[in-house]
C-alpha cells in the first residue's frame, strides 16, 4: 500500500515537472513569437538572407557630334564569406595561386573580414572564367561598372573623373553627378547553412534607375587641335603651362578648353576658368570702349604718347615701342600703355569701373563647371591717377581667361555678353531629351558704331600691330595681345623677365564664329603675347577651319575685297560703316593646295583602316592601329605639320 502511494506521488511529481516544462516552453514560445518576434526575425534574416546593391549605369558624356567621351562598361567583382568556409587554409591557397598574393596574406584577410571580403573588383570578361572555375568556397560575383574614357587624357580636366565607386569627383563628372549617376537599386537572396547563395530565389526590392547622358558643346576635333598646339609651344617656349578657351559666338557654348602643364601628362586644373590673373594689355578693350562709346575721343584724334616715357606724378609709364604721337585707333593697334592711360584719365575712374563691370569683369560668368572663380576689381573711390592708369593697361585687376574671352566675343557677335556653358542637353535612358543650357544674353554692352571701331582696331592689331604673327591668309583673325608681368618673388614691383603672355581674339574676322584666348605662364623664349601666344592662336584657327566640314570658314585668298577695304579704312582712318563685300570661299582642296599639302597631315577619318595605313606609310609616318573598319579618330588631328608627327595613331570603329 505504501508502495502504491509512493508511486502515485512520484507520478504526480513527474506530471508537475512536465507541466512546468510545458509552461516554460509555452512562455518562451509566446516571448519569441509575440513579444520578441521582430528581434528574432532579424536574427533569422541575417543568417538566411543577404542584400546586394544593384548599381545603376552611369550616363555617358558625348561631344557636340555625339562622340562618346565617357561611358560605363560592365565588369564583375568577386567576394567571399570567410566565416562559412570549411577549410579556410585550403581556400587561401587557391586564392594565392589565382592572385599571386601569399597564402598568409589571405589568411590574415579572412580573420580581419570574416563576414565579407572583396577578392577583386573590375574584372574584365576575358578574366572572369579564372575566378569562376577556381572552385573557391562561398565565392560570389556581382556586376559593377567602370568608367571608360576612350580618348584617354584628351579634355580630361573638363570631363573630369570618377572614384572607385563610380561617383564624379572632378570636372563635369562632378558638376552633373545628379544627372549622370542615376540611383542604385537593391535585391535580397537566400543563403544555405554554409553561406552559399540559393540561386533559384532572389527578390529585387528596389529597381536601379540608370543615369542620363549629357551632350556637350565641346568639339573633340577642336579640343585635340588646341591641346596639340598648346603642348608644342609649351615645349618650345619652356613655359610653366599653356591654357586656352574657345567659345561659340552664336550660343556661348565652350567648344574647346585645355590646360597643358610642364612635366604633367594629365589631370591639370582648368586654369582658364578657375585661375585669375592680371590680364595685361588685353584689358585695353575697356578704356578704348569707354572713350569711343561716350564720344570722349574719336578714332582719328591724335594723342601725344611722349616718345615712350610718361611721367605721372612720381611714377613713370613706359611703352615697349615708343612713338611721339598716335591716332586713337593706332593706340590700340600698337598697344600703347601711355595712350590708353591718357584715355582712362580723360574718362575718369567711375566710367572705367562701370565699363569693367559692363564687360563682365569682377563677376563669375555662370559657366556650368565646378570651381569657377570671380574676378577681382577694387572700388573706384580710392583709385589714384596712377592706379587708374594701371587698370587701363591691365594691372590692379584680375580676371579669368573665360571672362576675357566673352568680353571680346561681345565685340564679334553684335554686342551680346553671353553666359558660357559646356552641357547643352540631357538624354534620359528612355530616349527623351531635355535642354540643360541654351543661349543666354546677360546684356547688350555696346552700340554698333563702337563695336565697328573696336573690330577694326583688333583686325589692325593682327595685320600691322603687335600680333602680326597671328595673321593668316586662309582665316582672317582679329584680336589683342597681352603681356602681364608677374610680381617679383622677392622684393617689390614686377619682374621684367617673367610674364603671362596671352592673345585673345576671334575668327574668321569677317564673319566671326569662334572667340578664344591662348595664355602661357612664364615663357622663357619671349615674354610677349604677340610672339608666344599669337602664333599658337593662328595655328589653332588655321587647322580647325581646314577641316573638311569647316570649309565655309575659309577665305578665298589674300585679295579678298572685304579684307582690302578694311585695310584701306584703317590706313586712312576712315571708320564709316560701308556695306560688307561678298565673301568668297575656297574649297578644302584649294586650302591645302595653297599651304603645301605635302607638309601637312591629311585627314584620314572616313577611310578604311587599310587605305589610311597605306597612305600614312607612303608619307613615311610611323603608324599604330586600334580597332578595325573605318577610321573614326586620329591622333594627331589633321593639319599639323608632318615633321612634328612622331607617330600617327588610327582608331577604327
**Which sequence spans correspond to the domains of the chain?**
51-216, 220-595, 598-653
What is the SS3 assignment for 255-280?
Answer: EEEEEEECCCCCCCCCHHHHCCECCH
Topology match between the domains 51-216 and 220-595: no
Rounded to an integer, the average pLDDT of 542-571 is 63
Q: Which residues contact 163 (CB under 8 A, 6 or more apart)?
A: 169
Q: Which range is least confidently modeled, 102-106, 256-260, 265-269, 394-398?
A: 265-269
Residue with cell 577665305: 555
Of 231 and 554, the structure prediction assigns the larger pLDDT to 231
Quick check: 509 and 478 in contact, CB under 8 A?
Answer: yes
pLDDT of residue 554: 80
pLDDT band at 48 (very low <50, low <70, confident <90, very high): low
Helices (H), 486-586: 529-545, 561-572
Nearest-CA neighbor of 341 among 374, 370, 369, 305? 305
pLDDT of residue 2: 56
pLDDT of residue 169: 93
The per-residue pLDDT of the chain, averaged, comes to 85
Q: Give CA 24 to chain center in angstroms.
A: 72
Of 491 and 248, the structure prediction assigns the larger pLDDT to 248
Q: In the numeric block, which cell numbers belong to residue 436?
A: 540643360
pLDDT tops 70 at residue 596: no
pLDDT tops 60 at residue 47: no
pLDDT tops 50 at residue 364: yes
pLDDT of residue 275: 95
Helices (H), 300-400: 328-333, 337-347, 349-358, 385-392
**Cα 571 from Cα 487, distance rounded (Å):** 37
pLDDT tops 60 at residue 570: no
**Cα 247 from Cα 375, distance rounded (Å):** 19
Nearest-CA neighbor of 570 among 329, 324, 296, 303? 329
How many residues appear in the chain? Answer: 653
pLDDT of residue 573: 45
DSSP E strand boundaries for 40-108 = 49-54, 61-62, 68-80
Of 124 and 563, the structure prediction assigns the larger pLDDT to 124
pLDDT tops 90 at residue 551: no
Residue with cell 572663380: 373
Rounded to an integer, the average pLDDT of 540-553 is 90
pLDDT tops 80 at residue 115: no
Please say whether the structural domain 598-653 has been given the CATH code 3.30.10.20: yes
Quick check: 254 and 218 in contact, CB under 8 A?
Answer: yes
Sign of CA dihedral 519, 525, 528, 531: negative
pLDDT band at 582 (very low <50, low <70, confident <90, very high): very low
pLDDT, tens digit, 9 for 90 and up, residues 258-315: 999 987 666 678 999 999 999 999 999 999 999 999 999 999 999 999 999 999 989 9
Burial pattern 176-188, b for ≥16 Cβ within 10 A else e, equals bbebbbbeebebe
Rounded to an integer, the average pLDDT of 383-402 is 96
**Cα 552 from Cα 588, distance rounded (Å):** 9
- Out of 3.30.300.20, 3.40.50.300, 3.20.20.80, 3.90.1310.10, select the CATH number for domain 51-216: 3.90.1310.10
Residue with cell 590700340: 332
Quick check: 449 and 321 in contact, CB under 8 A?
Answer: no
Q: Which range is least confidently modeled, 108-122, 197-211, 345-359, 540-554?
A: 197-211
Three-state SS at 478: strand
Q: Which residues pair with 277 in a beta bridge?
A: 399
Q: Which residues pair with 244 in a beta bridge?
A: 258, 518
Q: Which long-range contacts (CB under 8 A, 24 or more apart) does 8-11 make?
A: none
Class of domain 220-595: alpha beta
Quick check: 254 and 420 in contact, CB under 8 A?
Answer: yes
DSSP calls for 440-469: -EEEE---HHHHHHHHHHHHHHHHHSTTGG
% of residues, the chain, pLDDT over 70: 87
pLDDT tops 90 at residue 231: yes
Q: In the numeric block, which cell numbers belong to residue 70?
A: 565617357
pLDDT of residue 268: 76
**Cα 309 from Cα 322, distance rounded (Å):** 8
Amino acid at each position: 500500500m505504501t508502495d502504491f502511494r509512493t508511486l502515485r506521488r512520484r507520478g504526480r511529481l513527474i506530471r508537475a515537472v512536465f507541466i512546468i516544462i510545458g509552461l516554460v516552453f509555452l512562455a518562451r514560445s509566446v516571448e519569441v513569437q509575440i513579444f520578441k518576434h521582430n528581434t528574432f526575425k532579424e536574427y533569422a534574416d541575417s543568417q538566411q538572407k543577404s542584400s546586394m546593391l544593384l548599381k545603376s549605369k552611369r550616363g555617358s558624356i558625348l561631344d557636340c557630334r555625339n562622340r562618346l567621351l565617357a561611358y560605363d562598361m560592365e565588369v564583375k567583382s568577386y567576394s567571399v564569406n570567410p566565416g562559412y568556409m570549411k577549410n579556410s587554409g585550403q581556400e587561401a591557397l587557391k586564392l594565392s595561386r589565382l592572385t599571386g598574393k601569399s597564402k598568409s596574406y589571405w589568411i590574415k584577410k579572412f580573420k580581419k573580414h570574416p563576414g565579407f571580403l572583396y577578392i577583386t573588383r573590375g574584372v574584365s570578361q576575358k578574366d572572369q572564367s579564372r575566378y569562376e572555375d577556381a572552385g573557391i568556397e562561398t565565392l560570389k560575383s556581382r556586376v559593377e561598372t567602370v568608367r571608360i574614357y576612350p580618348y584617354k587624357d584628351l579634355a580630361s580636366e573638363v570631363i573630369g573623373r570618377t572614384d572607385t565607386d563610380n561617383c564624379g569627383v572632378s570636372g563635369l563628372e562632378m558638376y552633373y553627378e545628379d544627372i549622370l549617376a542615376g540611383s542604385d537599386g537593391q535585391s535580397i537572396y537566400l543563403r544555405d547553412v554554409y553561406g552559399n547563395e540559393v540561386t533559384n530565389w532572389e527578390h529585387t526590392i528596389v529597381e536601379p534607375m540608370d543615369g542620363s547622358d549629357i551632350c556637350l558643346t565641346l568639339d573633340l576635333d577642336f579640343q585635340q587641335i588646341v591641346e596639340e598646339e598648346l603642348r608644342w609651344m609649351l615645349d618650345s617656349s619652356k613655359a610653366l603651362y599653356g591654357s586656352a578657351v574657345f567659345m561659340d559666338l552664336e550660343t556661348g557654348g565652350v567648344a574647346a578648353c585645355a590646360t597643358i602643364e610642364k612635366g604633367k601628362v594629365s589631370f591639370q586644373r582648368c586654369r582658364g576658368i578657375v585661375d585669375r590673373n592680371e590680364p595685361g594689355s588685353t584689358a585695353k578693350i575697356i578704356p578704348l570702349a569707354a572713350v569711343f562709346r561716350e564720344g570722349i575721343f574719336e578714332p582719328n584724334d591724335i594723342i601725344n604718347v611722349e616718345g615712350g616715357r610718361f611721367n605721372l606724378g612720381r611714377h613713370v609709364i613706359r611703352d615697349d615701342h615708343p612713338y611721339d604721337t598716335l591716332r586713337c585707333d593706332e593706340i590700340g593697334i600698337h598697344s600703347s600703355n601711355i595712350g590708353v592711360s591718357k584715355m582712362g584719365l580723360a574718362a575718369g575712374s567711375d566710367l572705367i569701373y562701370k565699363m569693367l563691370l559692363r564687360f563682365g569683369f569682377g563677376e563669375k560668368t555662370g559657366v556650368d563647371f565646378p570651381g569657377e572663380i570671380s574676378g577681382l576689381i577694387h572700388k573706384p573711390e580710392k583709385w589714384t591717377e596712377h592706379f587708374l592708369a594701371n587698370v587701363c593697361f591691365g594691372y590692379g585687376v584680375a580676371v579669368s581667361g573665360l571672362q576675357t574671352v566673352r568680353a571680346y566675343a561681345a565685340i564679334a557677335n553684335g554686342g551680346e555678353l553671353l553666359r558660357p556653358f559646356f552641357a547643352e542637353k540631357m538624354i534620359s535612358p528612355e530616349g527623351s531629351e531635355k535642354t540643360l543650357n541654351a543661349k543666354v544674353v546677360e546684356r547688350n554692352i555696346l552700340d554698333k558704331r563702337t563695336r565697328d571701331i573696336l573690330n577694326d582696331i583688333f583686325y589692325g592689331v593682327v595685320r600691322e600691330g603687335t600680333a602680326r604673327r597671328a595673321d593668316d591668309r586662309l582665316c582672317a583673325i582679329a584680336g589683342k595681345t597681352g603681356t602681364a608681368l608677374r610680381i617679383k618673388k622677392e622684393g617689390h614691383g614686377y619682374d621684367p623677365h617673367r610674364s603671362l603672355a596671352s592673345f585673345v581674339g576671334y575668327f574668321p574676322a569677317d564673319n566671326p564664329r569662334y572667340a578664344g584666348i591662348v595664355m602661357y605662364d612664364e615663357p622663357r623664349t619671349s615674354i610677349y603675347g604677340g610672339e608666344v601666344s599669337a602664333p599658337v592662336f593662328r595655328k589653332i584657327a588655321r587647322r580647325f577651319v581646314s577641316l573638311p566640314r569647316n570649309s565655309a570658314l575659309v577665305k578665298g585668298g589674300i585679295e579678298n575685297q572685304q579684307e582690302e577695304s578694311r585695310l584701306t579704312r584703317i590706313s586712312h582712318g576712315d571708320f564709316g560703316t560701308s556695306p560688307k563685300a561678298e565673301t568668297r570661299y575656297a574649297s578644302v582642296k584649294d586650302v591645302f593646295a595653297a599651304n603645301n599639302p605635302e607638309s601637312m597631315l591629311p585627314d584620314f577619318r572616313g577611310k578604311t583602316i587599310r587605305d589610311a595605313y597605306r597612305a600614312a606609310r607612303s608619307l613615311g609616318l610611323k603608324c599604330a592601329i586600334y580597332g578595325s573598319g573605318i577610321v573614326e579618330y586620329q591622333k594627331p588631328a589633321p593639319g599639323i605639320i608632318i615633321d612634328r608627327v612622331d607617330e600617327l595613331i588610327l582608331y577604327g570603329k
